[in-house]
Amino acid sequence: MSKEFIKGNEAIAEAAVRAGCRFFAGYPITPQNEVPEYLSARLPEVGGHFIQGESEIASVFMVFGVAATGIRSMTSSSGPGFALKSEGISFLAGGQIPAVLVNVSRGGPAIGTIEPAQQDYFSAVHAPAPGGFRCFVIAPQNVQEAADFVYEAFDIADKYRTPVYVLADGMIGNMMEVVELPKMRDLAELPSNDSWRFNKYNDDGSARILSTYMPMGELMQKKNKEMAAMYEAWEKNEQRWEEYMVDDAEYIVTAYGSSARIAKSAVKELRAEGVKVGLIRAITLFPFPKDAFAKLDYAKVKKMFCAEMSIPGQYIYDVQNAVLGQSQIIPIQTSGGVILETDMVVAAVKENL
């Protein structure tokens, strides 16, 4: 392990290399440009390959092709880029090909603004591409977690043979913090992928073209049922969240990503003033940590506050589905590059005591 004072995007890139990523394809877009820039120099140092594709569409299908051979692969972008990558992401899911997708999100809709926001929640969590599949989605709150979650994402992807989505934002990607980087993985010690990786060759030694998985009718339905069962297993076994000062809390603030980090500061400030408030931070966004809300004592919890950098709210919909009307939920929202501030959360709670 080594500690470095490092930028978020560069920590993401270095963590991918240390996790065993040996292929990256992407296309420039603010605020994630340091990820491909870093990997363009770093991957060749470890025998890997970097390609700046001619487009986001080309890049994600390069990842599809390389990942299908069993090589740990990744792409990154921001919201508009992921809109273009969506068909390729559906190919990854349909082919059960593991890969890591990093979204350093910005404001929207359309090309929006280059400043940080959390307005890609729906697209990442509920509709990453056509076909009704889901991605495993995990959200860091700081640069340390950005590195840790990217590192772990490759193992999750291999375990379930699925694309894993790391949903960060422009604030995490562009801040600098002291980070303890993970160890360099020995590729020889990675789990075997011989049972699924593409290794078919013609008699003359040339590689065959990998065809799309396109079963028809009942075979497609069988495939969909298998994927649904996997998602149910995630919901049973993979929910992750953080609780902070929840045990005696009469008010709960919930958030994810960088908004949760800001909300925790607000909780500390309110506690110092005697307000019994706690925080639930969603770490996995899919599977959503419904169990964290199910075990609350709603006879004690007077009100809940949902903080996110999105207008209209998006994260709040999953919170509502988890709370099931057992508590009033008050939104605290910014968007379009306006950063949520501690004072906003403190003021919203005080106004509703």
Residue 121 and residue 115: Cα distance in Å, rounded? 16
- In this structure, what CATH number is given to the domain that contains residue 176? 3.40.50.970
Assigned token pair, 288? 């959503």
pLDDT of residue 201: 67
Least confident among 34-38, 125-129, 202-206, 225-229: 202-206
Shared-domain flag, residues 99 and 207: yes
Residues 184 and 201 in one domain: yes
Q: What is the mean pLDDT of the chain?
A: 95
CA distance 26 to 32: 10
Question: Per-residue pLDDT tens for 284-334?
Answer: 999 999 999 999 999 999 999 999 999 999 999 999 999 999 999 999 999
Residue 200's pLDDT band, with cuts at 50, 70 and 90, is: low
**DSSP string of 314-345, one letter each residue:** SHHHHHHHHHTTSSEEEEEE--TTPPP-HHHH
- Provide the domain limits for residue 318: 241-351
Last residue of a domain, one of 237, 257, 288: 237
pTM of the model: 0.95
CATH of the domain at 245: 3.40.50.920
Boundary (domain end) residue, out of 194, 209, 237: 237
Residues 106 and 23 in one domain: yes
Q: Both ends of the chain: CA-CA distance in Å?
A: 45
Q: Is the pLDDT of residue 3 over 60?
A: yes
Report which of 238, 221, 219, 58 is spatially closest to residue 132, judged by C-alpha positions: 221
> Do 73 and 50 share a structural domain?
yes
User: What is the spatial distance between Cα 319 and Cα 338, in angstroms, rounded to a whole number?
Assistant: 22
For residue 131, give the 3-state DSSP assignment.
Answer: coil
Angstrom distance (rounded) from CA 325 to CA 290: 13
